[in-house]
Amino acid sequence: MGRADRHRSRYGRYTGGPDPLAPPVDLAEALDAIGQDVMAGYSPERAMREFLRRGGDSQRGLDDLARQVAERRRELLSQHRMDGTLQEVKELLDKAVLAERGQLARDVDLDDSDRSFREMQLDNLPASTAAAVSELSSYDWQSGEAREAYEQIKDLLGRELLDQRFKGMKQAMQNATDEDRAAVNQMLTDLNQLLSDHAQGTDTPEQFEEFMAQHGEYFPENPRDVDELLDALASRAAAAQRMMNSMTAEQRQELMELSQQAFGSPELMQSLAQLDANLQALRPGEDWTSGERFDGEEGMGLGDGTGVLQDLADLDELAEQLSQSYDGSRMDDVDLDKLSRQLGEEAGVDARTLAELERALRDSGYMKRGSDGELRLSPKAMRQLGKALLKDVATRLSGRQGQRDVRQSGAAGELSGSSREWEFGDTEPWDVTRTVTNAVLRRAGDAAGPLLSIEDVVVQETEARTQAAVALLVDTSFSMAMDGRWVPMKRTALALHHLIQSRFRGDHLQLIGFGRHAEVMEIEQLTALDAMWDKGTNLHHALLLANRHFRKHPNAQPVLLIVTDGEPTSHLERNGQVSFSYPPHPLTVALTVRELDNSGRLGAQVTFFRLGEDPGLARFIDQMAQRVGGQVVAPELDDLGAAVVGSYLGSRQGGSYRDSFGDWGFGGGRGFWVG
């Protein structure tokens, strides 16, 4: 080998697994969709499955791939028919007979009686192609062209029968010599012996290696042992049997009779019959009995038809894998090579991306299994989801009000000790040490870059001097679930929770859900809460819990945010029992009003968020808000999060919500102020 040869590089497609240079999958869209489904009552496992089925904005899902598999299957069935070999044999037979008739007419030296006898034989050939071929097996052809056409029939049948079991044999055996046919017969004999020994458990690795050394050219799959050889052979032999099952009874009979003429000897058919018997005994799990209905116009030979039946089996297997409907299913179950082979590289890339997405969701800490074995969203996933929801809220606020309050952690306040990357419009002081460090590290890898880039800048977060004790009361009654307000309510709670946890860490947030009774909830509990179908709106109990929260933090500014779509219909008795009445009982209303007055005496800034258009509810909430100098907002559902976060930010700045943001005028009837 020359020096140049030793240093020559060869380039090809990377086949060592996932592309190491491919960008990581984007989990943001998946987490948002999964989070929404979880908040709608799905389990995280089911929510993840639903996203993988639907796909994303720029990513095809499993349903799209399964639909393409079904379309490919219908295409194969509507394009082909099974009698291609029979038609080809008939054409060769007609060619041979026509050439023989022409020779008989031209041959002036032929005895008239002999000519008449031969013409009578040709005139009285059976209508069945197989019977005609069999009857002419002993005919003494006068025409060389006719003899050649008839010999092609026997050669074609032999090659087709071999191609059914060994892909590519039809082409490989074209113009085969007697020695070639003898070599194939010897291969079949040795193969049947190997499989018989394997069935009895007496075969050895050396026997397999010797077989492959002698006959390996017939097995392009390059099996590594007998089992891999069996898998490849049984898969194609089963497809060949399914092809026969797909034919009519007349077509099957024709082929069985014609097969005796293969290569002019019944020896091949006997060896193939023994091979089929061995394969069925060793691989009974293959589908040997079913068939398909082909309605197309394109005739297929035995080998090509077997290949199509294999394709159909692959498509059926892919359909099951893509359905992910069985216990323990994973995207890793999908055969990506088979999918690419059947549907193209693009489908393989889509499925590979979905598999990487599933793997990332499971392995990156966004999902975890609880003590009960159920998959749950982890705190990391909740933070990511809250961040996305808060970003949406910020977009709505800045788009309608020109505000940036979601990103201002009390800009005029004291340093909180935290820092973050600079964002457009930030007025917080720079964290000089981290900014310079970022610039130095960046220039170490890119000396030609600028001394300072905007990506280097880090700002110090500030915390407002006044702490707040925030109670978010969310209605979890029957009507909230029935009228489609369940998910917007949860999204609102998660956005506010993330804002306080990330930007106003000194504030104290308590989430309180109130249906027939009220309950303090952690954010994970609230977001995973199934729809409550018990009737009852116990605002009285919720206010009791909120006031207890305010009293625990006497030095903080109380902020009371109430999201509801109904008047109070239940209250808490002295003995702790819940009393329910519809229409609302005067005692329920009186106890609720009294507890709201207690909130006012504690100095709470109160905002009601009224959902729905009920006039009675509007009058009641207006009166409640007036008692404590509170505000009423009646937002559309998709603006609920912006309304609640905006109200909280207004209270954090020491003014009313109206003072901080002006009238809540979303335009186009999207939301409005009341009271």
Place of tokens 């007349």: 250
369: β partners: 375
pLDDT tens-place string over residues 182-194: 888 899 999 999 9
Q: How far apart are the first and last CA of the chain?
A: 92
pLDDT tens-place string over residues 472-519: 999 998 888 787 888 888 888 888 888 888 878 888 999 999 999 999
Amino acid at 371: S
> Dihedrals φ, ψ of 468, to 5°?
-130, 145
Predicted local confidence at residue 667, as pLDDT: 33
Considering only 164-178, 430-444, 591-605, which range has the smallest mean pLDDT? 164-178
Rounded CA-CA distance 230/279 in Å is: 7
pLDDT tens-place string over residues 279-292: 999 999 999 998 88
Indicate if the pLDDT at residue 53 is higher than 60.
yes
Predicted local confidence at residue 544, as pLDDT: 96
Indicate if the pLDDT at residue 622 is higher than 80.
yes
Candidates 560, 566, 512, 487; CA nearest to 534 is 566
Write out the two tokens for 200: 């009895």
Candidates 252, 307, 283; CA nearest to 83 is 252
Indicate if the pLDDT at residue 145 is higher than 80.
yes
pLDDT tens-place string over residues 297-350: 888 888 888 888 889 989 999 999 898 877 777 888 899 999 999 999 999 888
Mean pLDDT of 557-578: 91
Contacts with 93 (C-beta within 8 Å, 6 or more apart), sequence order? 129, 132, 133, 136, 149, 150, 153
Candidates 466, 471, 650, 496; CA nearest to 552 is 471
Indicate if the pLDDT at residue 674 is higher than 50.
no
Candidates 55, 58, 76, 78; CA nearest to 66 is 55
Within 80-225, residue ranges assigned H as helices are 84-106, 112-123, 129-135, 144-165, 169-172, 178-200, 205-215
Indicate if the pLDDT at residue 425 is higher than 80.
no
Predicted local confidence at residue 148, as pLDDT: 93
> Dihedrals φ, ψ of 579, to 5°?
-110, 125
pLDDT tens-place string over residues 62-88: 999 999 999 999 999 898 888 888 888
Predicted local confidence at residue 75, as pLDDT: 92
Instruction: Look at 335 and 2; give whichever has higher pLDDT.
Output: 335
Candidates 73, 564, 55, 655; CA nearest to 349 is 55
Predicted local confidence at residue 4, as pLDDT: 47
Mean pLDDT, the chain, rounded, equals: 82
Predicted local confidence at residue 255, as pLDDT: 85
Mean pLDDT of 568-580: 91
Amino acid at 217: E
C-alpha distance from residue 59 to each of 330, 340, 384, 435, 586 (Å): 18, 16, 21, 37, 56
Amino acid at 85: T
Contacts with 153 (C-beta within 8 Å, 6 or more apart), sequence order? 89, 92, 93, 96, 133, 261
What homologous superfamily does CATH list for 467-674? von Willebrand factor, type A domain (3.40.50.410)
pLDDT tens-place string over residues 651-668: 766 544 333 333 333 333
- CB-CB neighbours of 49 under 10 Å: 20
Indicate if the pLDDT at residue 21 is higher than 80.
no
Question: Are the C-beta atoms of residues 588 and 569 closer than 8 Å to each other?
Answer: yes
Predicted local confidence at residue 27, as pLDDT: 75
Rounded CA-CA distance 361/357 in Å is: 6
Write out the two tokens for 604: 């709470």
Domain edges within the chain: 25-80+315-377, 83-293, 414-463, 467-674
Question: Are the C-beta atoms of residues 559 and 648 closer than 8 Å to each other?
Answer: yes
Question: Are the C-beta atoms of residues 610 and 564 closer than 8 Å to each other?
Answer: yes
458: β partners: 421
Write out the two tokens for 13: 């497609």
Question: Are the C-beta atoms of residues 236 and 306 closer than 8 Å to each other?
Answer: yes
Where are the strands (E) in 214-323, listed by range? 298-299
Indicate if the pLDDT at residue 401 is higher than 70.
no
Predicted local confidence at residue 413, as pLDDT: 53
C-alpha distance from residue 419 to each of 73, 188, 384, 428 (Å): 57, 76, 18, 10
Instruction: Look at 163 and 375; give whichever has higher pLDDT.
Output: 163
Predicted local confidence at residue 102, as pLDDT: 92
Rounded CA-CA distance 33/389 in Å is: 11
pLDDT tens-place string over residues 207-263: 999 999 999 888 888 899 999 999 999 998 998 888 888 888 888 888 888 887 776
- The angle formed by the CA atoms of residues 599, 406 and 486, to the nearest 5 degrees, is 65
